[in-house]
């Protein structure tokens, strides 16, 4: 019996899999660790959606990390909330009835509205056509009308309206910045201004940091804003560079596993002290076996750029870019690696090394996979905004949406999907 008890308490996965199917990819334990950071914020600050869903997701991720007691505790907390908020429905938690109810449509259910709205937004970011734009605008407007404190939805609606109605978009964000206490929502609000008005984004991020000084992505995004300012600055570059380095150093200190923060820090050091830049790259290269594929591609890209542009080492750069491009996962970095390989091939051609150039083009052709529809993306440096509307019917209307450290969108579920029953 003791052995059975130990087994059941140490691995809750059978129960999790019976009631929940998570249709997303966790590539390694680094992924789970980063997403858990964001989930903690969502649980702390989200009161208008189905909070037990976040706790259930947290339990699943704890399970992936091998933190079985933490997983069970998250499930207990979810159970307590469900018993409190849905006393009549709680006996229907049994899997069979849950999946029967999942087939029923209940679009008026308040628990689904937020997820549906954000799913529509995610769909628009993939297609950018007028139909999905109108659907997202309508659904986000509806949810905001019913949930005035849904600042997450206001940020997304502002993104929708950025070009069509800039005044309304900025009014929505002003409300968010003045009233939201969620650092992650404020971080995404700052991204609205990051490219055009980095100083305004900096002010928003500084407010978010006052609310949560331990969240490394706030410092990372702050560094990105200073980097943007540095690129355009005609004076005061030394002060801006120092601020960028300090922000990225804090991001690395707060999360030593943050590969993108390390790469950004190295790039800033490279402005004046290339030997520091090289040292960071070599340290990250030594961690390569433990990194996710996305991070590996990013490391090869940055190290290759250092070899290519600063050390003028064509052969070593080509070797590095090839190693990154050979990783089949189709992230944004892979296209950049291809472009770099083509640049190296061009350099070889200019120096009459046609055989070397031809070998690179052959390598690209051999390693390129047929183009397919745009895939959802999730990297280990991409903690997510979880925005799920999961009701008693077991319908997952939106898995997650947000922006990662590199400003690429996190993957999302565009349409409602039903949990799959597992044995």
Mean pLDDT of 308-324: 97
How many of the other CB atoms lie within 10 Å of CB of 187? 27
What is the residue extent of each domain of the chain? Answer: 285-380
Does residue 285 or residue 410 have the better pLDDT?
285
Q: State yes or no: pLDDT of 308 exceeds 80.
A: yes
Predicted pLDDT at 92: 34
Predicted pLDDT at 379: 37
Mean pLDDT of the chain: 78
Q: How confident is the model at residue 69 (pLDDT cuts 50, 70, 90)?
A: confident
Predicted pLDDT at 324: 97
Lowest mean pLDDT among 142-146, 213-217, 407-411: 407-411
Predicted pLDDT at 60: 82
Predicted pLDDT at 129: 86
Q: What are the tokens at 361?
A: 């083009």
The Cα angle at residue 276 between residues 273 and 278, in degrees rounded to 5:
110
Predicted pLDDT at 19: 40
Q: What is each CA distance from 111 to 115, 156, 357, 392, in whole angstroms?
A: 8, 18, 57, 9
Pairing assessment for the beta strands 395-396 and 385-386 based on DSSP bridges: unpaired
Q: How confident is the model at residue 416 (pLDDT cuts 50, 70, 90)?
A: very low
Predicted pLDDT at 246: 98
Lowest mean pLDDT among 64-78, 128-142, 269-283, 297-311: 64-78
Q: Are 189 and 177 in contact, with CB atoms under 8 Å apart?
A: yes
Lowest mean pLDDT among 48-57, 193-202, 268-277, 405-414: 405-414
Lowest mean pLDDT among 65-69, 230-234, 356-360: 65-69
Predicted pLDDT at 406: 55
Three-state SS across the chain? CHHHHHHHHHCCHHHHHHHCCCCCCCCCHHHHHHHHHHHHHHHHHCCCCCHHHHHHHHHHHHHHHCCHHHHHHHHHHHHHHHHHHCCCCHHHHCHHHHHHHCCCCCCCCHHHHHHHHHHHHHHHHHHCCHHHHHHHHHHHHHHHHHCCCCHHHHHHHHHHCCCCCHHHHHHHHHHHHHHCCCHHHHHHHHHHHHCCCHHHHHHHHHHHHHHCCCCHHHHHHHHHHHHHHHHHCCCCHHHHHHHHHHHHHHHHHHCCCCHHHHHHHHHHHCCCCHHHHHHHHHHHHHCHHHCCHHHHHHHHHHHHHHHHHHCCCHHHHHHHHHHHHCCCCCCHHHHHHHHHHHHHHHHHHHCCCHHHHHHHHHHHHHHCCCCCCCCCCCCCCCCCEECCCECCCCEECCCEECECCCCCECCCCCCCEECCCCC
Q: State yes or no: pLDDT of 330 exceeds 50.
A: yes
Q: State yes or no: pLDDT of 158 exceeds 60.
A: yes
Q: How confident is the model at residue 303 (pLDDT cuts 50, 70, 90)?
A: very high
Predicted pLDDT at 421: 27
Mean pLDDT of 360-385: 59
Long-range contacts, stretch 174-177, CB < 8 angstroms, 24+ apart? 175/151, 176/151, 177/204, 177/207
Does residue 395 or residue 33 have the better pLDDT?
33
Of 107, 111, 133, whose CA–CA distance to 122 is shortest?
133
Q: State yes or no: pLDDT of 5 exceeds 50.
A: no
Q: At how many degrees (to 10) do helices 198-211 and 216-232 cross?
A: 160
Determine the Cα–Cα distance for residues 232 and 224; give it in Å rounded to an integer. Answer: 13
CATH number, span 285-380:
1.25.40.10
Predicted TM-score (pTM) of this structure: 0.69
Q: How many residues does the chain have?
A: 423
Based on its alpha-carbon atoms, the radius of gyration of the chain, rounded to whole angstroms, reads 23
How many of the other CB atoms lie within 10 Å of CB of 229? 20
Mean pLDDT of 25-50: 67
Predicted pLDDT at 86: 60
How many Cα atoms are found within 13 Å in the side-chain-facing hemisphere of 89?
Answer: 14
Predicted pLDDT at 63: 80
Q: State yes or no: pLDDT of 327 exceeds 90.
A: yes
Determine the Cα–Cα distance for residues 174 and 180; give it in Å rounded to an integer. Answer: 10
Determine the Cα–Cα distance for residues 423 and 402; give it in Å rounded to an integer. Answer: 32
């Amino acid at each position: 019996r003791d052995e059975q008890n130990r087994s059941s308490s140490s691995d809750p996965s059978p129960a999790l899999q019976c009631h929940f199917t998570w249709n997303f990819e966790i590539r390694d334990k680094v992924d789970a660790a980063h997403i858990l950071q964001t989930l903690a914020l969502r649980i702390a600050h989200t009161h208008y959606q189905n909070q037990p869903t976040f706790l259930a997701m947290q339990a699943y991720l704890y399970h992936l990390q091998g933190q079985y007691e933490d997983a069970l505790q998250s499930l207990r907390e979810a159970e307590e909330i469900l018993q409190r908020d849905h006393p009549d429905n709680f006996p229907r938690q049994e899997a069979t009835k849950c999946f029967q109810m999942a087939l029923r449509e209940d679009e008026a259910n308040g628990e689904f509205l937020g997820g549906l709205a954000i799913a529509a937004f995610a769909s628009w970011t993939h297609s950018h056509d007028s139909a999905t734009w109108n659907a997202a605008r309508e659904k986000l407007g509806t949810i905001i009308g019913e949930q005035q404190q849904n600042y997450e939805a206001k940020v997304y609606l502002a993104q929708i309206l950025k070009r069509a109605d800039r005044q309304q978009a900025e009014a929505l964000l002003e409300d968010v910045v003045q009233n939201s206490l969620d650092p992650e929502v404020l971080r995404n609000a700052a991204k609205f201004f990051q490219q055009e008005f980095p100083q305004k984004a900096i002010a928003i991020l500084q407010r978010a940091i006052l609310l949560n000084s331990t969240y490394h992505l706030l410092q990372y995004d702050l560094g990105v804003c200073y980097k943007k300012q540095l690129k355009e600055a005609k004076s005061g570059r030394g002060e801006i560079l120092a601020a960028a380095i300090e922000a990225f150093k804090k991001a690395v200190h707060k999360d030593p596993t943050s590969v993108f923060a390390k790469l950004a820090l190295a790039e800033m050091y490279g402005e004046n002290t290339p030997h520091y830049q090289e040292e960071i790259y070599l340290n990250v290269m030594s961690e390569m076996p433990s990194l996710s594929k996305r991070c590996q591609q990013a490391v090869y890209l940055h190290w290759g750029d250092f070899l290519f542009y600063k050390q003028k080492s064509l052969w070593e750069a080509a070797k590095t870019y090839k190693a990154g491009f050979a990783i089949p996962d189709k992230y944004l970095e892979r296209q950049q690696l291809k472009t770099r390989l083509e640049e190296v091939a061009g350099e070889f051609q200019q120096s009459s090394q046609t055989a070397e150039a031809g070998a690179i083009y052959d390598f690209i052709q051999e390693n390129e996979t047929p183009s397919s529809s745009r895939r959802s993306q999730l990297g280990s440096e991409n903690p997510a905004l979880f925005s799920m509307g999961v009701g008693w019917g077991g319908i997952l209307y939106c898995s997650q949406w947000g922006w990662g450290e590199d400003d690429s969108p996190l993957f999302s579920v565009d349409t409602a999907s039903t949990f799959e029953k597992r044995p």
